[in-house]
Homo-oligomer: A and B are copies of this chain.
Amino acid sequence: MDVLNPPNPPATVEEFRDRLAAVSDSLPRRLRQCADHIAANIDRIAVSTVAELAAGAGVPPSALMRFCQIMGYSGFSELQKMFREAYAPGFPDYTTRLANLKTGGAGSPSALLAEFVEAGRLSLETLAKSADEAALVEAVDILATARTVHIIGLRRAFPVASYLAYVFEKMQVPAMLHDGVGALDHRHALRDGDAVLAITFAPYSVETVAIASDAQARGLPVVALTDRLTSPIARASRAILMVTEVDFGAFRSLSATLAMAMALAVAVGSRRK
């Protein structure tokens, strides 16, 4: 065990999240996989076994054990005990429904539609449950006081970025969309007093991370909208809005991300009046 890790393990879910965010930067590959999977499935810890979680993370059970110890626990059992005690009731059984849907009408367009609808609903639900209010408030603060908001998001994140640009324009918030058109380097557009809103999901695009780091290096605040606390952009950001989307097959929805984006944009817009 590392001397840097305090011996007292997180005693609440909040503390657990904090420690997770704190250590995940400095984790080697397998342990980071553990961290990511645990972060995305924090609500299933109480009802899972080591083997199940390890399989989900794509690591051998022993890696997950090491992860538990790095988090400050004696082992998985101690960690799980905390989650079992901290649990709260209530079961809308969506997991089983989704499983049923998947085995059902495979392939037809309307079956696909049903899948994506369900994935979207689940994502929204997860967002409601896991949203970090403090981070959201901080993000609004940063963007509401910025001179100009620079929005960057490519590939899968681009629709979100362009939507934010649209809403900001409608609300007369000075914003600039960095879209990668022409492979121009827009970094010189950053001025003192500006802020960056960076959106990226695994696999993280280097351009986005680069702009965020650049801004950070120049002392400009960065708000990140991303899918993992362990995202490479996290280090460069002052506020991290984490959104996990449920995916169906290889395709991930954007419902939760857009809901978060809308809330952010409207909050910023009305704060600036």
Assembled-state Cα–Cα distance A121/B126 (Å): 12
Write the A91-110 contact mask toward B (1 if CB under 8 angstroms, else 0). 11111111001001001111
**Contact indicator A101/B131 (Cβ below 8 Å):** yes
**Contact indicator B128/A114 (Cβ below 8 Å):** yes
Which of A189-197, A215-223, A263-271 contacts its partner?
A263-271
Specify which of B85, B89, B163, B249 is in contact with A159 (CB 8 Å cutoff): B163
**Contact indicator A128/B97 (Cβ below 8 Å):** yes
Given A110-B131, A255-B120, A255-B258, answer yes or no on A91-B87 (Cβ-Cβ < 8 Å): yes
**Contact indicator B95/A85 (Cβ below 8 Å):** yes
Which residues of B are found within 8 Å of A262, using beta-carbon distances?
112, 116, 251, 253
Specify which of B107, B181, B254, B266 is in contact with A181 (CB 8 Å cutoff): B181
Specify which of B85, B90, B109, B256 is in contact with A43 (CB 8 Å cutoff): B90
**Contact indicator A259/B90 (Cβ below 8 Å):** no
| Residue A133 lies at the interface, judged by CB distance under 8 Å to chain B | yes
**Contact indicator A136/B162 (Cβ below 8 Å):** no
**Contact indicator B266/A112 (Cβ below 8 Å):** yes
**Which residue in chain B gives the minimum CB-CB distance to A89?**
B43
| Residue A13 lies at the interface, judged by CB distance under 8 Å to chain B | yes
Specify which of B44, B46, B109, B167 is in contact with A136 (CB 8 Å cutoff): B109
Which residues of B are found within 8 Å of A90, using beta-carbon distances?
43, 46, 86-90, 93-94
Which residues of B are found within 8 Å of A136, using beta-carbon distances?
109-110, 113
Assembled-state Cα–Cα distance A117/B136 (Å): 15
Assembled-state Cα–Cα distance A109/B235 (Å): 24
| Residue A76 lies at the interface, judged by CB distance under 8 Å to chain B | no
Assembled-state Cα–Cα distance A95/B128 (Å): 9
**Contact indicator B162/A158 (Cβ below 8 Å):** yes
**Contact indicator A94/B131 (Cβ below 8 Å):** no
**Sample (23) of A-B pairs whose CB atoms are under 8 Å apart:** A13-B91, A44-B87, A46-B87, A47-B84, A48-B84, A86-B93, A86-B95, A86-B96, A88-B94, A89-B90, A91-B129, A107-B267, A109-B137, A109-B267, A110-B131, A110-B136, A110-B263, A112-B262, A112-B263, A113-B127, A117-B124, A158-B163, A159-B160
